[in-house]
Structure 1
Amino acid sequence: MIKFLVRPALTAKAILNYCQDNNVILPEEFDVIRSLSDDDLISSSAPIKMLECIEQQTNNAEFFSELMKVCTDTWLQAFYRMVPPRNDADMASQLVDFYENIHGMRINHNWSLLETNETVSLVSKSALHGKFNDLLLYSFLIKMMSQPNISATGTITAEFSLKSEEYLKYLDFPVDTKFGTNDTNVGKFVFSVSKLCDSKVYNPMFLSKRITDYDLLIAASNMIPINKLNISSLAFILGISPRSLTKVVEEMGISLKTLINNVKYKKARRLLEMNNGNIKLTACDCGFTDQGRLTKIFNQTMGISPSEFLLTK
């Protein structure tokens, strides 16, 4: 079983684009995310590491506030494409909709949903727990609950694990909020909304977890540049040995070499399309010093050259 926390690439891509527009430089390791689609899965730590890098460059509270809004709006638009908003929905039902459609399907964090007669609470105990992980989730949930289709009846409370000064410089907190007293990243983030009635709104029997080990392999591969993607680099990012990785993949009934070649091809094809068919530029963006290696990827996977692929478009 592979252990690797993932999330869709859209948040990381929003951060990359915002930083580019505002002349903030991020490490080159994140450039590999630019060519991914919004729905492609990546390491959950990627946007958190980006925000930590930004924090080292600037303490401009307004910059972070605007960046959080950009991330939140991007996430909300994507969520509503998956789950069209319901008219006159109450906050508890909306929180359940979010949990059922995101947890286990697009994100595999250690989340749980707790329900009492009075409230529904989303509890995050992710291994990535920290201020930016909390802030991204909190910002989105507050934005979602403030949408016109959501009934404003009821109350919202939020509990953070760290001290208030870790968060207050980045966001305002319009709801009843509690903060932790420890300096270390312990505890959990809890977001609670009140129910309009005593009847249950959440049935865990309907929760469908769909992220597979194969999905996790692809997500890890998405974090590695094409010219560096191999068994060793994939094993490293997954935190296991190449031998263990090979064994796990064999037990899945697939070829690790084929999987890696398919990922390389998908990345190269997308870059070629983004570069409007410029083969030389695409080879460069892949990290290759010549076009031959790009041609090899297309031939191994599809049996055609990049030029022949372009003729099929």
Structure 2
Amino acid sequence: MINYKYRPAIFSKPFLEFFKNKGISNLKRYNFIIDLDDGDLVSIKLISEILHVIESNINENYSYSELIFYIENRIRGFFEPLLTNSNSATERLAQFYACYQGKMASCDWILEETRTTLSLIAKRGEQKSHSKYDDIIILFLINKLINFDKYVEVSEVKFKLSFDRSYYSPHVRFFNNTSFSNGHVHVEIKKTKKEIDNNIKLYKPQSKPSLKSQIIAAANMIPLNELDVASLAFCLSMSTRSLQRLLKTNGLCPLQIVQLVKFNAAKRKLLANNGNIKKTVYECGFNDQRNLTRLFILHAGLTPKEWYKNLYNRPQLT
């Protein structure tokens, strides 16, 4: 089996967007990630690589506060619609964890529940130059998600960060209820009186990462013009034959996954190009239009022109 950890692209794309707009070329090799949908899966290591580059480029012109403001609003905009029917901060935290851990991501996060509190814990290892960003973004994101003006009752919230305050300061202003040097990122919320009195249980077991999700996340890390079964196996640190055997044992086919990822990318490109077939063929790295047509017929039963017209009833370009 493999252990390829992943996260939604929404945790990486805003960084790439922000610094692309700032003209930082060090991250240019990852620009193809920007074309992914926010919910598409990518390697969890991608954010570490991006943050490492950012650490060497942050200065007085590109401040932490400017970066954090942009990032937290992009990520919050993605998660807010997913967190419905939550009347308390604890319900919102539990719902966030349920839709994120296992389904959207495979990371070292756990949810702990006592009779009076609910806590989200993001485990941390050794201190690295880029760790501050990951910690701070989790802190600010959770704070935004749980502080919702429709709450019936406001709960007491405590934030704990992994390392010493000096490691994060002076770039970011913290909340009054934040402590440091805890070894992990820790968000603890006191349950409402109703939840305590009625002994309401909020925790639900997390989903386990699926093999298919891991393979798709790896495929999304490869530029389209380089994506094939061999490059996918290399990305997973496996031989092509080993990957084929593993997937066959689990009822999967690597070629089908590669084609699916290419099809999803081709759909996004076609929409972004307003139905322009020739431009989409070029941007997807296909040798000719016939390859794009075969891909659409295989997965949609329609040619690219037919798919575009049927979906949006828009005028077609050639």
Q: State the partner residue of 1:135.
A: 136
Q: Contact 2:58/2:64 (CA < 8 Å) preserved in 1? A: no
Instruction: Give the distance between the partners of 1:101 and 1:180, measured in 2 at CA.
Output: 29
Q: CA 1:115–1:304 in 2, change beyond 3 Å: closer, same or farther?
A: closer
Instruction: Give the distance between the partners of 1:163 and 1:40, measured in 2 at CA.
Output: 34
Q: Contact 2:7/2:106 (CA < 8 Å) preserved in 1? A: yes
Within the alignment, does 1:58 sit opposite 2:54 as a pair?
no
Aligned with 2:112: secondary structure?
strand
Instruction: Give the distance between the partners of 1:311 and 1:81, measured in 2 at CA.
Output: 29
Within the alignment, does 1:45 sit opposite 2:45 as a pair?
yes
Report the Cα offset of residue 138 of structure 1: 0.8
Report the Cα offset of residue 296 of structure 1: 5.7
Unaligned 5+ residue runs, structure 1?
182-186
Report the Cα offset of residue 71 of structure 1: 2.1
Report the Cα offset of residue 221 of structure 1: 0.9
Aligned with 1:46: secondary structure?
helix
Determine which of 188, 192, 209 is the counterpart of 1:192. 188
Within the alignment, does 1:97 sit opposite 2:95 as a pair?
yes
Aligned with 2:207: secondary structure?
coil
Does 245-254 or 235-244 show the bigger shift? 235-244
Q: CA 1:150–1:301 in 2, change beyond 3 Å: closer, same or farther?
A: closer
Q: State the partner residue of 2:10.
A: 10
Instruction: Give the distance between the partners of 1:10 and 1:51, measured in 2 at CA.
Output: 14
Instruction: Give the distance between the partners of 2:240 and 2:171, measured in 1 at CA.
Output: 41
Q: Tell me which amino acid in the other structure corresponds to 1:188.
A: H
Aligned with 1:120: secondary structure?
strand
Q: CA 1:176–1:308 in 2, change beyond 3 Å: closer, same or farther?
A: closer
Report the Cα offset of residue 302 of structure 1: 5.9
Q: CA 1:94–1:18 in 2, change beyond 3 Å: closer, same or farther?
A: same
Q: CA 1:308–1:43 in 2, change beyond 3 Å: closer, same or farther?
A: same
Q: Contact 1:157/1:175 (CA < 8 Å) preserved in 2? A: no
With normalisation by structure 1, the TM-score equals: 0.83
Report the Cα offset of residue 303 of structure 1: 7.2
When the two structures are aligned, how many residues end up with a matched partner?
Answer: 305
Q: Tell me which amino acid in the other structure corresponds to 1:213.
A: L
Instruction: Give the distance between the partners of 2:202 and 2:149, measured in 1 at CA.
Output: 26
Instruction: Give the distance between the partners of 1:236 and 1:128, measured in 2 at CA.
Output: 28
Q: For 1:102-251, what aligned pairs fall within 5 Å after superposition?
A: 102-125=100-123, 130-150=131-151, 153-180=154-181, 187-197=183-193, 198=196, 200-204=199-203, 206-209=204-207, 211-251=209-249
Q: State the partner residue of 2:36.
A: 36
Unaligned 5+ residue runs, structure 2?
312-318
Aligned with 1:190: secondary structure?
strand
Q: Contact 2:266/2:280 (CA < 8 Å) preserved in 1? A: yes
Q: Tell me which amino acid in the other structure corresponds to 2:284.
A: C
Instruction: Give the distance between the partners of 2:208 and 2:126, measured in 1 at CA.
Output: 21
Q: Deviations over 1:123-181 (max 9, x none)?
A: 11267983222122111011123321236744322222223232224421113333229
Q: Deviations over 1:45-90 (max 9, x none)?
A: 3233223222212223863322222222222222221122534x2x
Q: CA 1:60–1:43 in 2, change beyond 3 Å: closer, same or farther?
A: farther
Instruction: Give the distance between the partners of 1:49 and 1:151, measured in 2 at CA.
Output: 41
Report the Cα offset of residue 251 of structure 1: 1.2
Q: Tell me which amino acid in the other structure corresponds to 1:268.
A: A
Q: Contact 1:112/1:124 (CA < 8 Å) preserved in 2? A: yes
Instruction: Give the distance between the partners of 1:237 and 1:202, measured in 2 at CA.
Output: 41
Q: For 1:272-311, what aligned pairs fall within 5 Å after superposition?
A: 272-288=270-286, 291=289, 294=292, 297-298=295-296, 306=304, 310=308
Aligned with 2:159: secondary structure?
strand
Aligned with 2:174: secondary structure?
coil
Report the Cα offset of residue 104 of structure 1: 1.8
Q: Contact 1:41/1:219 (CA < 8 Å) preserved in 2? A: yes
Aligned with 1:27: secondary structure?
helix
Instruction: Give the distance between the partners of 1:131 and 1:121, measured in 2 at CA.
Output: 20
Q: How high is the sequence identity, in percent, across the aligned residues?
A: 28
RMSD: 3.0
